[in-house]
């Protein structure tokens, strides 16, 4: 083989290797590790980018939230998003992407560390003004424009000048109109708004915008512990540092450190988060097949707290499906309302405040038997039980049906006089019911009798989806291997 032929072979091999690297980068979650792949939660969010116009993604440090934003930017600019057919959706339209971060330092770091490694240096041109990054222009016509929102009013005005395809806002900006204006600037193109953040401080107006329910919006919480960077030893250190905090502080910080959940106001007892703890009932829910737990906190004043929870028969997850106040000073009137609320539900457990003997006796006469809860000297333990259940994701609240309970959790503050107690706790009857439920809920056990056919169908459907995902992944890998062999 001549020297020229050897040179040609080496060039061909180098070109093939480069092409293979580009294909591997297309699948890689981290451009600096071509073997990296998204976690199940991250993969779900990627897939649903085609479905929802607005995605808000929260996570703690090292959860991958910023890399999720960067990966989507790379797919849009490369016109090769695996879950959005860009050529079909926006034919012959150069992609316009806006990236907004708190400072220019932040967005320059996103470009240099998280976005640019996906591209060949020859495929784009960098424009700076006064040494500060402003624009990236790609050979295929795509463009990235970077903004800082240090001055949020100015940033909102600048966004008005563009009609884009993707806007990524990284971290929380306290100016709600910036989000609303960004969403409007995407409507003409049916574009996508992506918000990634760790919400360590409550920003009420922005939080309302983010958590507003809409068929066009979806929220995600990335678990930092899913990241391989957190070894078992690192997780132990984090848990140990949290355990050194006072109980009320530890409960607030846990979900913030791990999931990037909203940090509640000073003195808050419960760290309820709509993304982590709010959940719709599964499609296969059956009120006659699933077991239910009824909890009641009668009051002599006639204001009675009432909860109804149901358990998924395969996962053991509990869902609160009713949380309301019932009026009825006379036990007979109150029982009639409770019976109406639980009619046509398979109620297997009933719990009542043991101090309401007047109600329990009347219920027994009507063959409704209630178990009690041990309260004496355990008030702090009961409060912590709810916090732990929320922290460990042991219970979900169907938000549309539990508004009053959610409001009480947001209102409850630690007492300044009595350590470990809730201020004005006598008015929170739904919170009392929640505490009783967590303390007395029955243990999970797989059904020994023939399960509901809908449950079996759901299980089979989940198995089918996993098999289908595995088949698609295997098919893609085979295509990549075949393409590489052909090019060689």
- Which has more pLDDT, 191 or 445? 191
Give tens-digit pLDDT for 100-138: 999 999 999 999 999 999 999 999 999 999 999 999 999
pLDDT at 424 over 60: yes
Least confident of 84-88, 157-161, 396-400, 478-482: 478-482
**pLDDT given at position 46:** 96
**Edge-to-edge order in the sheet of strand 318-327:** 347-352, 292-297, 303-311, 318-327, 395-397
Determine phi and psi for 402, rounding to 5 degrees.
Answer: -130, 30
DSSP code, position 347: E
pLDDT at 423: 80
Q: Which residues contact 282 (CB under 8 A, 6 or more apart)?
A: 312, 458
Whether CATH 2.60.40.650 fits 38-226? no
Angle, helix 204-211 to helix 176-187, in steps of 10 degrees? 30
Cβ-count burial 248-273 (b if 16+ within 10 Å, e if not): bebbbbbbbbbbbbbbbeeebbbbbb
Segment 185-225, tens digit of pLDDT:
999 999 999 999 987 766 778 888 888 888 999 999 998 88
Contact assessment for residue 274 and residue 212, using Cβ atoms and an 8 Å cutoff: no
Domains 38-226 and 292-440 alike in fold = no
Confidence of residue 390 (pLDDT cuts 50, 70, 90): confident
For the chain, give every domain's residue range: 1-35, 38-226, 233-271, 292-440, 450-488
Is pLDDT of 444 > 80?
A: yes
- pLDDT mean across residues, the chain: 85
Q: What is the pLDDT of residue 459?
A: 66
pLDDT grade for 12, boundaries at 50, 70 and 90: low
Return the HEC string of 23-87: HHHHHCCECCECCCCCCHHHHHHHHHCCCCCEEEEEECCCCCHHHHHHHHHHHHHHCCCCCCCHH
Q: Is 102 helix (H, G, I), strand (E, B) or coil?
A: coil
Q: How many of the other CB atoms lie within 10 Å of CB of 324?
A: 17
> Helix H segments across 126-231?
152-159, 176-187, 204-211
Does the domain spanning 292-440 belong to CATH 3.30.420.280? yes
**Integer Cα distance of 379 and 448 in angstroms:** 36
């Amino acid at each position: 083989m001549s020297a020229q032929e050897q040179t040609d072979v080496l060039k061909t091999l180098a070109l093939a290797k480069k092409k293979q690297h580009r294909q591997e980068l297309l699948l890689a979650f981290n451009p600096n590790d071509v073997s990296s792949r998204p976690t199940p939660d991250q993969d779900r969010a990627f897939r649903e980018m085609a479905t929802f116009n607005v995605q808000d993604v929260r996570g703690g440090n090292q959860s991958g939230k910023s890399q999720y934003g960067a990966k989507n930017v790379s797919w849009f600019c490369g016109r090769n998003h695996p879950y959005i057919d860009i050529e079909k959706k926006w034919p012959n339209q150069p992609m316009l992407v806006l990236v907004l971060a708190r400072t220019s330092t932040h967005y320059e770091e996103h470009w240099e560390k998280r976005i640019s490694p996906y591209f060949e240096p020859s495929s784009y041109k960098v424009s700076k003004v006064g040494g500060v990054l402003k624009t990236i222009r790609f050979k295929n016509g795509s463009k990235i424009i970077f903004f800082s929102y240090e001055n949020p009013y100015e940033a909102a005005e600048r966004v008005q000048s563009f009609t884009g395809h993707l806007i990524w806002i990284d971290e929380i900006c306290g100016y709600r109109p910036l989000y609303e204006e960004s969403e409007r600037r995407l409507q003409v193109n049916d574009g996508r708004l992506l918000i990634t953040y760790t919400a360590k401080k409550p920003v009420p107006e922005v939080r309302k915008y983010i958590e507003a329910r809409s068929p066009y919006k979806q929220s995600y919480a990335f678990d930092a512990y899913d990241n391989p960077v957190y070894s078992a030893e690192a997780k132990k250190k984090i848990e140990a540092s949290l355990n050194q905090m006072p109980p009320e502080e530890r409960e607030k910080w846990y979900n913030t450190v791990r999931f990037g959940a909203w940090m509640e106001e000073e003195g808050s007892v419960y760290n309820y988060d709509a993304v982590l703890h709010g959940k719709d009932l599964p499609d296969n829910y059956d009120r006659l097949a699933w077991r239910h737990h009824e909890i009641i906190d009668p009051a002599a004043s006639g204001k009675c707290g009432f909860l109804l929870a149901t358990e998924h028969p395969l996962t053991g997850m509990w869902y609160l499906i009713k949380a309301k106040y019932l009026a009825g000073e006379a036990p007979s009137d109150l029982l009639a309302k409770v019976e109406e609320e639980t009619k046509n539900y398979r109620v297997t457990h009933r719990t009542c405040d043991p101090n309401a003997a007047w109600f329990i006796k009347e219920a027994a006469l009507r063959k409704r038997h209630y178990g009690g809860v041990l309260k004496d000297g355990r008030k702090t333990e009961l409060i912590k039980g709810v916090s732990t259940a929320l922290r460990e994701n042991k219970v979900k609240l169907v938000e549309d049906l539990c508004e009053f309970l959610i409001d009480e959790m947001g209102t409850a503050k630690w007492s300044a006089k009595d350590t470990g107690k809730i201020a004005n706790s006598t008015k929170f009857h739904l919170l009392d019911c929640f505490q009783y439920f967590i303390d007395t809920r029955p243990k999970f056990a797989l059904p020994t009798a023939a399960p509901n056919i809908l449950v079996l169908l759901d299980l089979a459907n989940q198995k089918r989806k996993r098999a289908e995902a595995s088949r698609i992944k295997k098919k893609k890998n085979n295509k990549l291997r075949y393409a590489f062999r052909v090019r060689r």
